[in-house]
């Protein structure tokens, strides 16, 4: 199966998206199809052996819409959106001017305003010409509204507009012809041209404002794409030359100077600098780069010049992978959207039935044709499935975009929804709550100076391949200690190491090694007990069979681990730590980060069972791990959060990927999910509330009791602004930066 994204133009409501989606799903060879009305994109998975891209575009075309592949650059798509906004603006201004003139001449005489005699003598003709001009500005409502019925046998929002406006216009034309024919039964008061004109004007205004606000929902993607420079300086055949970024190939040596953006992913081969990676990772502090360090496309070189070898280019770069994940997330559907989609699918035909029912009901109750026609038009116009179609996807687009700006990749809308429902959060220990690399924490001397103890231990470990050798040797080097040459080095499995420094024998190991050599440990007993209770690995150092000191190492807790755990517990989450490490070490780490529930000595394959136990209690469980060794646990959890993944973003198993190695982002992802869901629920409430109240009022339900009948022009204005209000509510999420969780380490 192959995945593809198509841009769709011509959609103006949720029914449009549903029509396209239905047509695609019926085609043989299409595994799945999702159409996002807010993003104006179709996300299709298809069998390339049965269908070609041209076939997919043709299917969309037969439904009455235009599909095309995204442009090679974002500029192409931006130009198309700008063109649409500009076109709608021109059409709105033209229709507004014509409608204003029409309103003046039709209402002016009643208000005592001067109207030229020629106009008064040809009132029906002038109104007809002005209204026709307005309808020409909104011709697409008629072509799209009726073409979808002809081509796909379904109606959409444009159909409602075409029926409502068309009814007012055609009735007015009928009255005009009667007046021109000398029929005295009709007069100027029977003309509805201004209603038809203003309905088109209001709807064009709504579409114009909607186009502007919808364009803003995808700004996160645009900003990410803009991080990529268009050219790069490479060294080829011994010469430095500037080439297009599309011409870069793996293995090219790229030259980056201060202030320039890094064009593709790679590894530094010459030079030293600090790089601002904030636009990709959200981390504000520049990262130092030297030989063999990785660099990420889109980041900014701050100080020195350096050369690097291109490792990933084009669609393979970290930046491209992030953009792809965000685009897919923005096109996905949250479970909460399913109800809105089902309603939108039957909404338009239901509205037409209600409008016709109201029309004939009022006629049967003895009301005039004009009265019944007014009700019919008002019901058709006020009904707005756009709000239902925009409620969820706009919030998902802004929410996932805002997350991406802060180094949090939410893979789909379902993950965005489930994150705020999490009740229990399980943290893996090593590499997640802790740094994952042992560090020298304690040094005790019983005879010599501490530096001498470290010197002897590091000299021995220098010849060792033990996992704990590195932190000891690194600590000695950091202090500028010159190591001693060791002879007769020997590693004693499970116990320690020995060797000779000059004429003395040196031993470094655990209790068992010292006990085998009958070395007295009384002087170190209190230190041993304290350090072991703190979960540290203690190594005893002896010289010529006499204990002279000890060294302790331990994996250190990450900077914001305690603050993040406290934040999560403060929001009512149950926080658990799981590890394959021994219980004593696990408990020590847990105490340090503030976790009471600890699952220690758990094998990787058993982590899944522990998650299932919690799920069997009815809890929604999130698992936070490094995303590599914890793939089964990340998959089993209701929400898998892969942390500290760096440039391996696209291959991790998590539902949410944290690019930075910052535990605060776990809390932020959950908080952002809750905020996005709040916006979605607000949007859906207003969408349902608007239609639940608006349609009965438009049908005249209040008229028998209050004499109130909704004017079609007011209905048009309300419909136009309802979808704008929903999109605007979602856009408020762009200010989420002000709500960033503040936790101190």
Q: Which two tokens stand for residue 315?
A: 């669609």
CA distance 579 to 106: 80
**Residue 242 CB coordination number (10 Å):** 9
Closest CA to 468 of 573, 397, 554: 554
Instruction: Give backbone dihedrals phi and psi of 547, rounded to 5 degrees, phi first.
Output: -65, 125
CA distance 556 to 575: 19
Residues 192, 376 contacting (CB under 8 angstroms): no
Q: Which parts of 383-444 fold into alpha helices (H)? A: 385-405, 413-419
Residues 143, 159 contacting (CB under 8 angstroms): no
Residues 649, 409 contacting (CB under 8 angstroms): yes
Instruction: Give backbone dihedrals phi and psi of 715, rounded to 5 degrees, phi first.
Output: -60, -40
Residues 307, 270 contacting (CB under 8 angstroms): yes
CA 650 vs CA 112, 403, 637, 659, 673: distances in Å: 70, 16, 19, 11, 21
Q: What is the DSSP letter of 580?
A: S
Q: What is the DSSP letter of 483?
A: P
Instruction: Give backbone dihedrals phi and psi of 443, rounded to 5 degrees, phi first.
Output: -145, 120
DSSP reduced 3-state for 599: strand
Which residue in the list 265, 412, 428, 655 is annotated as catalytic?
A: 428
Residues 568, 425 contacting (CB under 8 angstroms): yes
CA distance 226 to 205: 30
The residue assigned the tokens 């770069």 is: 317
Q: Which two tokens stand for residue 18?
A: 């549903």
Residues 458, 473 contacting (CB under 8 angstroms): yes
How far, rounded to the nearest angstrom, does the alpha carbon of residue 742 sit from its chain's CA centroid?
Answer: 21
How far, rounded to the nearest angstrom, does the alpha carbon of residue 25 sit from its chain's CA centroid?
Answer: 25
CA distance 723 to 560: 41
Instruction: Give backbone dihedrals phi and psi of 594, rounded to 5 degrees, phi first.
Output: 85, 25
CA 57 vs CA 43, 64, 346, 604: distances in Å: 12, 11, 25, 47
With left for phi above 0 and alpha for psi between -120 and 50, is residue 437 left, alpha or beta?
A: beta
Q: Which two tokens stand for residue 615?
A: 């799920």
Instruction: Give backbone dihedrals phi and psi of 639, rounded to 5 degrees, phi first.
Output: -145, 120
Assess whether 581 carries a catalytic annotation.
no
Enumerate residues 6+ apart whose C-beta is below 8 A from 410: 329, 399, 400, 403, 404, 416, 419, 655, 656, 669, 673
**Residue 439 CB coordination number (10 Å):** 15
Q: Which two tokens stand for residue 262?
A: 């890094």
Residues 254, 294 contacting (CB under 8 angstroms): no
**Residue 592 CB coordination number (10 Å):** 18
How far, rounded to the nearest angstrom, does the alpha carbon of residue 739 sit from its chain's CA centroid?
Answer: 17
Q: What is the DSSP letter of 466?
A: -
Q: What is the 3-state secondary structure (H, E, C) of 525-568?
A: HHHHHHHHHCCCEEEEEEECCEEEEEEEEEEEECCCHHHHHHHH
Q: How large is the C-alpha radius of gyration of the chain?
A: 35
Please identify every residue annotated as catalytic: 428
């Amino acid at each position: 199966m192959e995945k593809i994204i198509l841009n769709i133009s011509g959609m103006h409501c949720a029914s449009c998206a549903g029509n396209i989606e239905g047509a695609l799903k019926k085609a043989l060879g299409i595994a799945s199809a999702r159409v996002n009305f807010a993003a104006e994109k179709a996300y299709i998975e298809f069998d390339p052996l049965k269908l070609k891209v041209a076939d997919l575009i043709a299917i969309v075309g037969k439904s009455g819409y235009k599909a095309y592949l995204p442009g090679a650059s974002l500029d192409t798509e931006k130009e198309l959106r700008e063109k649409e906004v500009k076109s709608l603006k021109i059409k709105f201004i033209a229709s507004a001017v014509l409608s204003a003139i029409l309103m003046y001449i039709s209402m002016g005489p009643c208000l005592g305003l001067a109207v030229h005699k020629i106009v008064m003598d040809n009132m029906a003709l002038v109104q007809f010409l002005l209204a026709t001009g307005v309808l020409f500005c909104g011709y697409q409502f008629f072509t799209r509204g009726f073409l979808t019925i002809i081509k796909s046998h379904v109606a959409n929002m444009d159909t409602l507009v075409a029926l409502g406006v068309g009814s007012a216009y055609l009735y007015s034309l009928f009255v005009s012809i009667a007046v021109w024919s000398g029929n005295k039964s009709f007069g100027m008061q029977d003309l509805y041209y201004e209603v038809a004109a203003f309905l088109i004007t209001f709807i064009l205004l709504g579409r114009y404002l909607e186009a502007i606000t919808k364009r803003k929902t995808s700004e996160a993607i645009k900003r990410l794409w803009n991080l990529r420079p268009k050219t790069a300086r490479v060294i080829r055949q011994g010469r430095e030359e500037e080439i297009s970024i599309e011409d870069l190939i793996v293995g090219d040596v790229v030259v980056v100077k201060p202030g320039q953006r890094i064009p593709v992913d790679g590894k530094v081969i010459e030079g030293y600098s600090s790089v601002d990676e904030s636009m990709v990772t959200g981390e504000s502090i520049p990262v130092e780069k030297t030989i063999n360090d990785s660099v990420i496309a889109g980041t900014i070189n701050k100080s020195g010049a350096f050369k690097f070898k291109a490792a990933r280019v084009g669609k393979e770069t970290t930046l491209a992978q992030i953009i792809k994940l965000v685009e897919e997330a923005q096109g996905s559907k949250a479970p909460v959207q399913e109800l809105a989609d089902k309603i939108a699918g039957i909404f338009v035909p239901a509205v037409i039935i209600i409008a016709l029912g109201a029309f004939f009901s009022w006629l049967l109750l003895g009301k005039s044709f004009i009265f019944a026609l007014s009700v019919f038009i008002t019901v058709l116009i006020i009904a707005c499935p756009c709000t239902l179609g925009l409620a969820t996807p706009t919030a998902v687009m802004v929410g996932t975009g805002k997350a991406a700006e802060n180094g949090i990749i939410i893979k789909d809308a379902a993950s965005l929804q489930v994150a705020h429902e999490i009740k229990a959060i399980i943290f893996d220990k090593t590499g997640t709550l802790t740094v994952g690399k042992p560090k020298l924490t304690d040094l005790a001397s019983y005879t010599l100076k501490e530096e001498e103890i470290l010197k002897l231990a590091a000299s021995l470990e220098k010849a060792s391949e033990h996992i704990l050798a590195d932190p000891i040797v690194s600590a000695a080097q950091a202090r500028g200690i010159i190591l001693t040459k060791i002879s007769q080095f020997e590693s004693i499995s499970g116990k320690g190491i020995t060797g000779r420094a000059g004429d003395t024998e040196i031993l470094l190991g655990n209790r068992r090694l010292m006990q085998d050599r009958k070395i007295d440990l009384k002087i170190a007993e209190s230190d041993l007990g304290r350090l072991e209770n703190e979960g540290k690995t203690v190594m005893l150092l002896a010289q010529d069979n006499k204990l002279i000191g000890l060294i302790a190492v331990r994996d250190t807790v990450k900077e914001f681990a305690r603050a993040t755990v406290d934040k999560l517990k403060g929001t009512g989450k149950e926080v658990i730590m799981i590890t394959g490490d021994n219980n004593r070490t696990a408990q020590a780490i847990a105490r340090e980060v503030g976790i009471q529930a600890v699952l220690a000595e758990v094998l990787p394959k058993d982590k899944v069972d522990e998650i299932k136990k919690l799920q069997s209690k009815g809890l929604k469980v999130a698992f936070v791990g490094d995303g590599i060794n914890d793939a089964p646990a990340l998959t089993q959890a209701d929400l898998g959060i892969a942390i500290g993944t760096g440039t391996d973003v696209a291959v991790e198993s998590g539902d949410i990927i944290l690019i930075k190695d910052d535990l605060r982002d776990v809390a932020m992802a959950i908080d952002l999910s809750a905020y996005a869901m709040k916006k979605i629920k607000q949007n859906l409430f207003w969408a349902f509330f608007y239609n639940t109240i608006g349609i009965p009022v438009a049908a005249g339900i209040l008229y028998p009791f209050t004499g109130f009948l909704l004017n079609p022009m007011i209905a048009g204005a309300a419909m136009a602004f309802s979808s704008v209000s929903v999109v605007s509510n979602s856009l408020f999420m762009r200010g989420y930066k002000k709500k960033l969780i503040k936790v101190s380490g």
